């Protein structure tokens, strides 16, 4: 690397491990990003088409010379919109397939005692069953769970009608979706239609292509992701606030360190049970360890932190550095955001990289299939592999001491419970968002912003999340966060109650009264569906549409196709959304204008792009103030 570590990350733990990696000649994501420069200009602008074997075709924008159309005649608008739509469909499929797996796990919990899964939240199960019209009277809880699981699975491929969760949106929002013909139908159908319509020789109208893509994205947010979150809560429990530790300092030199990395709680919940198995703990001690230390990485870390208090080791850009400590005995992965480079890094140490999903195998890794039908036994075999590797540790161990504390687990239910503590129960019913609406109307809270998303080398690691959050809370804007953004915030101390000292007077008062930190952890990336539901409830209570609320979304360091799907369904739900990295669409002036301007008149939400977090905060606050003015509050 030609740059000082401070210009790559704002996490001190990373500096020490970057230095160790450099000394041990370990290549990391930052090395590869530097080697990749300059990156392809055609790709950056979305002007390269590989949709058929006549290509690749590329549109030349930087000079008058060169082709302005592909061999089939597709212009810059068609090519850029097709590329974007396919990425959105891929992102929607990733989240939604996650949701499908959770539905299968719920079914196994009901029908297959060998799975080891059990339904933990009967109240939420029965509530959802009633919402979906499933008979619960005198029914066995396992039968109700099986029927809910089957109904959820039918949402992926039902031949007629629309997704059930759409009914949770405000009426005005549903009217907009119906008018624009983007109301989601069946999850698989909406994703497949994007791939069909963007095939060679199909849709060439960029606005129509985006309409199809928006429907697929809404199938993610109000479909696949929402199924994933709701059924995870039913199966594994609704998250509640509690304090945890975060950053690579959570690894322990004298214990077997097992890092669980990926996205699906079906694996991490089973691993959690396995690491507490007395026989495996005793086996670990026979290998010379004091015990088994389970820690989480990326969204899997969010899942088990918010339900069980398991420490969060690090976000997307820290996965290689965890292995560089030399103290990780096994990194167990399932799907999404897993760098293929991990197997090369693991080879330089004793670490076993264990893949568990048929959807995500990595050359050089050990594959141990995780079977939901026998989840606990599968998990025990995986944990045993980690335990038996402890004795193979080499001498090059360094665990940075940096770690922070913060509160995680603010599900919608937990937020409502917190609000109930400041509700006048003699005058108003409990279980509503009234105190939140009152705080917004009075101006004590200017608004709320969701800071979500990934890490990207185009933004200094974690700085986009942390600096934006600091600017917003300083201006009395409540922040909620998920995914890698949550890691950045907890490491920076923003999810501690002491962070109230960084807030404006209004937000500090709210945090004191409700006993919350100014940045609320709401889970993993699929849990952005929680935020949709909270906005929906707030809009209904204030008798407005979501687009009228003084709220915004932000993805300062986004990089994945999932993030594109999230951003699209958030905008189509009526929310102004700030991106810290420009999408690969800027080669099409029409498409760029559509996303950053035209969609505002259609859906109320629209994209904005600003890489400087302080400037981004100014634009977001300006948008919030505009909404407040329209609402006369």
- Residue 299 is labelled as binding a ligand: yes
Return the sign of the alpha-carbon dihedral for residues 4, 9, 10, 16.
negative
Q: What is the DSSP letter of 428?
A: S
Three-class SS string for 583-601?
CCCCCCHHHHHHHHHHHHH
Task: Determine the pLDDT at residue 423.
Answer: 85
Q: What is the DSSP letter of 546?
A: G
Q: Which two tokens stand for residue 609?
A: 């792009």
Neighbours of 501 (CB within 10 A): 9
What is the CA angle 573-574-577, rounded to 5? 100
Segments of the chain scoring below 50 in pLDDT = none
Task: Determine the pLDDT at residue 114.
Answer: 81
- Residue 7 is labelled as binding a ligand: no
Task: Determine the pLDDT at residue 3.
Answer: 63
Q: Which of 236, 229, 242, 250 is nearest to 408 (CA)?
A: 242
- Residue 263 is labelled as binding a ligand: yes
Distance separating alpha carbons of residues 213 and 211, to the nearest angstrom: 5
Neighbours of 369 (CB within 10 A): 12
Distance separating alpha carbons of residues 457 and 460, to the nearest angstrom: 7
Distance separating alpha carbons of residues 174 and 124, to the nearest angstrom: 25
Q: CB of 525 within 8 A of CB of 566?
A: yes
Distance separating alpha carbons of residues 416 and 275, to the nearest angstrom: 33
- Residue 202 is labelled as binding a ligand: no
Domains, the chain, ordered by start: 76-236 (1.20.1270.30), 248-392 (3.40.50.2030), 410-631 (3.40.50.2030)
The pLDDT tens digits for 45-72 are: 999 999 999 999 999 988 888 999 999 9
- Residue 484 is labelled as binding a ligand: yes
The CA–CA distances, whole Å, from 509 to 70, 418, 514 equal: 58, 14, 9
Task: Determine the pLDDT at residue 426.
Answer: 82
Q: Cα-Cα-Cα-Cα dihedral of 22, 26, 30, 32, to 10°?
A: 130
Angle subtended by helix axes 265-275 and 375-388, to nearest 10: 60
H/E run at residue 236:
helix 225-236
Distance separating alpha carbons of residues 47 and 57, to the nearest angstrom: 8
pTM: 0.96
Q: 3-state class of 53 per DSSP?
A: coil
The answer for residues whose C-beta is within 8 angstroms of residue 402's C-beta and 6 or more apart is: 11, 12, 13, 247, 248, 249, 491
- Residue 454 is labelled as binding a ligand: yes
Q: Which two tokens stand for residue 81?
A: 């919109």
Task: Determine the pLDDT at residue 138.
Answer: 92
Angle subtended by helix axes 76-111 and 141-154, to nearest 10: 160
Distance separating alpha carbons of residues 61 and 58, to the nearest angstrom: 9
Q: 3-state class of 144 per DSSP?
A: helix
């Amino acid at each position: 690397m030609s740059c000082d570590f401070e210009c790559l990350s704002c996490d001190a733990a990373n500096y020490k491990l970057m230095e160790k990696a450099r000394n041990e000649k370990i290549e990391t994501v930052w090395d590869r990003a530097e080697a990749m420069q300059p990156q392809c200009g055609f790709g950056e602008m979305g002007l390269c088409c590989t949709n058929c074997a006549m290509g690749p075709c590329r549109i030349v924008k930087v000079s008058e010379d060169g082709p302005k159309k592909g061999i089939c005649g597709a212009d810059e608008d068609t090519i850029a919109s097709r590329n974007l739509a396919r990425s959105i469909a891929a992102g929607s499929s990733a989240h939604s397939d996650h949701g499908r797996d959770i539905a299968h796990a719920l079914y196994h919990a009901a029908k297959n005692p060998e799975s080891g899964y059990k339904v933990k939240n009967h109240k939420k199960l029965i509530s959802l069953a009633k919402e979906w019209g499933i008979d619960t009277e005198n029914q066995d809880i396992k039968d109700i769970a099986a029927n809910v699981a089957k109904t959820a699975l039918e949402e992926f491929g039902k031949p007629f009608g629309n997704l059930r969760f759409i009914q949770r949106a405000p009426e005005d929002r549903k009217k907009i979706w119906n008018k624009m013909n983007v109301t989601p139908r069946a999850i698989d159908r909406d994703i497949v239609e994007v791939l069909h319509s963007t095939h060679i020789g199909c849709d060439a109208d960029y606005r129509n292509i985006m309409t199809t893509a928006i429907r697929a994205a809404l199938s993610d947010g109000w479909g696949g992701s929402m199924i994933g979150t709701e059924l995870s809560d039913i199966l594994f429990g609704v998250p509640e606030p509690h304090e945890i530790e975060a950053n690579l300092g959570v690894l322990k030199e004298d214990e077997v360190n097992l890092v669980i990395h990926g996205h699906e709680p079906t694996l991490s919940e089973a691993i959690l049970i396995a690491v507490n198995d007395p026989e495996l703990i005793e086996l670990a001690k026979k290998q010379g360890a004091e015990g088994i230390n389970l820690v989480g990485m990326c969204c899997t870390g969010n899942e088990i932190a918010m339900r069980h208090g398991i420490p969060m080791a690090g976000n997307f850009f820290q996965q290689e550095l965890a292995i560089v400590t030399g103290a990780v005995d096994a990194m167990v992965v399932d799907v999404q955001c897993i760098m293929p480079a991990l197997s090369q890094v693991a080879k330089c140490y004793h670490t076993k990289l264990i893949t568990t999903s048929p959807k995500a195998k990595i050359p050089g890794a050990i594959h141990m299939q995780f079977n939901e039908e026998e989840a606990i036994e599968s998990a025990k075999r995986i944990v045993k592999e980690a335990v038996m590797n402890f004795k193979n540790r080499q001498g090059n161990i360094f665990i940075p001491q940096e770690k922070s504390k913060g509160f995680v687990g603010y599900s919608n239910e937990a937020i409502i419970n917190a609000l109930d503590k400041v509700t006048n129960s003699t005058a108003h019913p409990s279980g509503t968002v009234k105190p939140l609406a009152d705080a917004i109307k009075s101006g004590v809270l200017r608004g709320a912003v969701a800071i979500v998303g990934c890490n990207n080398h185009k933004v200094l690691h974690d700085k986009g999340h942390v600096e934006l959050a600091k600017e917003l809370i300083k201006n009395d804007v409540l922040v909620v966060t998920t995914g890698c953004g949550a890691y950045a915030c907890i490491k920076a101390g923003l999810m501690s109650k002491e962070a109230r000292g960084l807030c404006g007077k209004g937000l500090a008062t709210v945090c004191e009264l409700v006993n919350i930190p100014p940045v609320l952890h709401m889970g993993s990336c699929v849990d952005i569906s929680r935020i949709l539901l909270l906005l929906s409830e707030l809009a209904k209570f204030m008798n407005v549409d979501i687009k009228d609320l003084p709220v915004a979304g932000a993805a300062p360091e986004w990089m994945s196709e999932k993030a594109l799907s999230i951003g699209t369904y958030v905008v189509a739900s009526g929310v102004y959304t700030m991106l810290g990295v420009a999408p690969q669409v800027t080669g099409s002036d029409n498409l760029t204008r559509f996303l950053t301007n035209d969609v505002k008149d259609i859906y109320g939400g629209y994209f904005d792009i600003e890489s400087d977090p302080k400037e981004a905060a100014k634009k977001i606050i300006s948008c919030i103030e505009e909404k407040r003015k329209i609402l006369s509050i």
